[in-house]
């Protein structure tokens, strides 16, 4: 009799809905493991705090899970695994970071001006902002930038709720998880995946996590921030081994 496996939960990034994962889920299905995969929406209700987001995940996620996070989803996955390691079998962080914004002692993020611009654009023209971001996450990958089918898919899975978008921007601006990254014997096995041409989350952020967790970093040469779309097969190969 086959042993019951912990499901795999995929947490998406800012600006998108769970459908961003569909290429990875399809690739996993082709490998015979898609029935074990869940793709919930991020807990991003209006004015939600980090603690409330983690509480929501605590209540909604399975008792044990292989937790996968991309971009902002990776930050929340990292926070959840750090606070509740007993709930996580393995942790996979894709194109993620412990701290999205640059700070006085952290230069592997983005300048404050980027999110200032995003905040203003969200108030003035959310659709234009999301279209711009859909282009930005592919920047650095020439093939992905020119892929019309990929462009159509991105626009089809963008987040349209302004409150969820605003809460996500607040999380990106305020989350700093470096203090949660101290080595811990109870920490789950960690997998890191990052594109070398990522213009949203610099590769240096994953290099910091690699050193902090003493775990290998899977570098995807020429990969942009949009790895779940552009390199779904490679990601699926890695995730399938965890299941």
Q: Which of 198, 206, 224, 231 is catalytic?
A: 198
For domain 8-242, is the CATH number 3.40.50.1820? yes
Q: Which of 6, 71, 96, 108 is catalytic?
A: 71
- The confidence band for 4, taking pLDDT boundaries of 50, 70 and 90, is low
Percent of the chain with pLDDT over 70: 97
Q: Delimit the domains of the chain by residue range.
A: 8-242
Judge whether 161 counts as a catalytic residue. Answer: no
| Whether residue 48 has pLDDT greater than 70 | yes
Judge whether 198 counts as a catalytic residue. Answer: yes
pLDDT digits (tens, 9 = 90+) for 102-147: 999 999 999 999 999 999 999 999 999 999 999 999 999 988 888 8
Judge whether 113 counts as a catalytic residue. Answer: no
Chain centroid to CA 143:
22
Q: pTM for the whole thing?
A: 0.95
């Amino acid at each position: 009799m086959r042993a019951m496996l912990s499901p795999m939960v995929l947490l998406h990034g800012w600006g998108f809905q769970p459908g961003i994962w569909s290429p990875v889920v399809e690739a996993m299905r082709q490998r015979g493991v898609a029935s074990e995969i869940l793709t919930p929406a991020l807990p991003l209700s209006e004015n939600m705090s980090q603690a409330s987001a983690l509480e929501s995940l605590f209540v909604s996620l399975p008792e044990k899970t292989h937790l996968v996070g991309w971009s902002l989803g990776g930050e929340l996955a990292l926070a959840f695994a750090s606070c509740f390691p007993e709930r996580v079998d393995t942790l996979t962080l894709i194109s993620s970071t412990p701290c999205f914004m640059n700070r006085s002692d952290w230069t592997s993020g983005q300048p404050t001006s980027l999110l200032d611009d995003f905040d203003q654009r969200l108030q003035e023209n959310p659709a234009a902002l999301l279209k711009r971001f859909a282009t930005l996450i592919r920047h650095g990958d020439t093939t992905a930038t020119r892929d019309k089918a990929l462009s159509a898919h991105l626009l089809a899975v963008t987040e349209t709720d302004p409150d969820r978008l605003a809460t996500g921007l607040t999380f990106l601006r305020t989350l700093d998880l470096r203090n949660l990254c101290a080595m811990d014997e109870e920490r789950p096995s960690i997998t890191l995946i990052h594109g070398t041409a990522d213009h949203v989350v610099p590769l240096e952020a994953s290099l910091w996590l690699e050193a902090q967790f003493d775990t290998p970093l899977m570098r995807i040469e020429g990969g942009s921030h949009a790895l779940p779309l552009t390199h779904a097969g490679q990601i699926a190969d890695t995730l399938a081994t965890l299941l």
